[in-house]
Each structure stands twice: as C-alpha cells, then as structure tokens.
Structure 1
Amino acid sequence: MLRAATDADKENVRVWRNHPTVRAVSLTRDEISPEQHEAYWQSLRDNPTRKVFIFERAGVAAGVVTFFDIDQSSRSAMWGYYLDNAGLEARGELLPAWIKIQREAVRFAFGELGLDTLDGEVLDANEAVRRMNTRNGFEEIGTEERVIDGTPTVVHTIRRVRQPGD
C-alpha cells in the first residue's frame, strides 16, 4: 500500500536513502545530512510537481516512492523508489517488498495520480532493477553517460505508458 508521507516519516526517509546499498544505485551518492534533508522536506510543501509516498508492507513502513516533474497537462511524471533495506533484510522480506513496491507504484501512478506516462532512470550496472523494469512493462528509451562521483556512468531512461487494465 502507498500512503502520503507525513512529517513523522521524515527521518526514516533520510535514513533509508542514506543506506549504502541505496546510495550505490542512486544518481547522487552523497550521504544526506539532516539539514539537507530538512530543506528538501520543506520544498515538498505546496509543490504540485512532486509527491512522496510511503510504501507499507503488512502495515509497516518499508519504503519510499517519489513522483516528480509531475505534469498534469501531459499526464506524465518521473519516479523513483527505495526501500528500508536494513529493516526488510532483518525480517527476511527484502525481495518480496522490492517486487511489490514497483507494482504498487505503477498502479498508483496510473490510478490515483491519473498519469498516462511514467518515466524514470536506472544505472546500467543495476541489472536486477533493469530486468524487473522490463517485466513490469517499462522500456529503455534512452541512454546517456553521466559523471557520478567522478566516474563516467551509463544511465538509461525508462518509460511505461498506461496499458489497458492499468
């Protein structure tokens, strides 16, 4: 289930994003300070182009889904997600949560948010997510090289368009 993030979720969101495994597959890898996170959190208020949701598994907060660059006129957005890796690993639930968060986010985007197109980005080296993206109907529509932490890194743009039944 996805629910709107609240101020009570703020610190969990920062801690989960700073997990080494999450940072390793992110487009920005710096550890986020409490001050940086507070500024980000405040920027979400009254921002119709960015929405943050908490993924719950069995009633427990377990991840974050962010929709950004939301364009209501074109019914499109970018998105990204990450999980509470440490908590889910400790409970032996990481793999099933990882599979479910993407499916729920896509359903939410095309349902509650009313989008027709959902775009994202994934690192070339993140093979597991690239395979899951394909299984969930995303196509890689573009590739570019960016410098991340001083290293040239291949990044793929992915897209999923609303399908009948979404």
Structure 2
Amino acid sequence: MQSETESTDHKISPALSAAPRELLEDVIKEFYLKVPSVREMVISKLLVNEGDVPEVFTSDSEEDSDGDENRPVKKDADPLEAKTQPTGSKRLRSRYARCINCENIFDVSKNTSQSCRYHSDASIPDEDLFPDHEECTHGPIDTPENRENYPQNFFYECCDRTLEEEGCEVSWHREDTFKRQRIY
C-alpha cells in the first residue's frame, strides 16, 4: 500500500509546471520565512559569497606585457565587467545573472574565460533562401516566427554561421548589471 507522500510525489511535477511563477515565488518566500532548513537550502541555491565570484578577464587586451596573447589579462576599461577578486568576502549576492552577450542565465561563481559563446554581429535573413517571399504580400522576412521555423535561413555577419550554429566568439559571461527600480 502506498503512503500519502508516495501517492502525491508523481503529481507534484505537473503541478509545479502548471503553477504561475508568482505563486511559486510566494510559496518559496513563505517556506523561506517559516522553515529554517528551507531557508538554508534557498540561500545555498540562490546566493553566493562575493568573494567566490571570479574576476572577469579578457585575452584581447593590448596591455599584456609578456606577449602571451592567451593569458587572461584584467580588463580595466569596462567597469561593468569588473568583479571582485576572491578575498573570502562574506557579502552575499545573487548566484545567477543574465549574460549580455549570449543572453543566457549563468552561475556567476562558475564563470570562466570559456563559459560564453556568442556572435559579435547581428543575424540577418538570407533573402535568397526565401525565393517566393514577397514582403508586400507576406510581410517582412525577419520575424520571430521565421527565425524559429527557418533558423538555417538566417546568418550572422561576423562569421556566416546560421542561427542553428554556436557562437563564433568565446569569452567570459558579461553580467547585465542594469538594476530595475521598483515603482511604487
């Protein structure tokens, strides 16, 4: 005979998938405030010590004094990329951020010089691959629907790769540091 917990275990995944994000956030916040063991789990999953976040480097700097082009060099020119050097800091910060290059969410404590793959130029449609398309009849070629349905028909100007292919640039993830202000 199944216990009550076993009988509900297989139902929780579809329920979580169907629940609105706001409701899930409220449930997590409620458990965070009321259950100490959940509080510790949430902190470990969503926060990280600032001292555990690697400093962002770049290898395209001309400041490299020893001539080794592959050795990471601190890039001082862009303050948005600068992170604190691991120092054992106990200040907590969000573990996850969105990369402004590849637009993916990443764990800031696991960021390396090889973490991000992106394209430096925009993608554009190859109009020759849409031979029967007339914009006056069908509308514009460059639409989200066409990008989703025909990714092989769009290419990046930087490398001639299609939307299906991985980025031609490899680098550190660059955190989007824009902070939204709460409007009351």
TM-score by length of 2: 0.21
TM-score by length of 1: 0.22
Report which of the two structures shows the higher radius of gyration computed on alpha carbons: 2
Structure with greater strand share of residues: 1
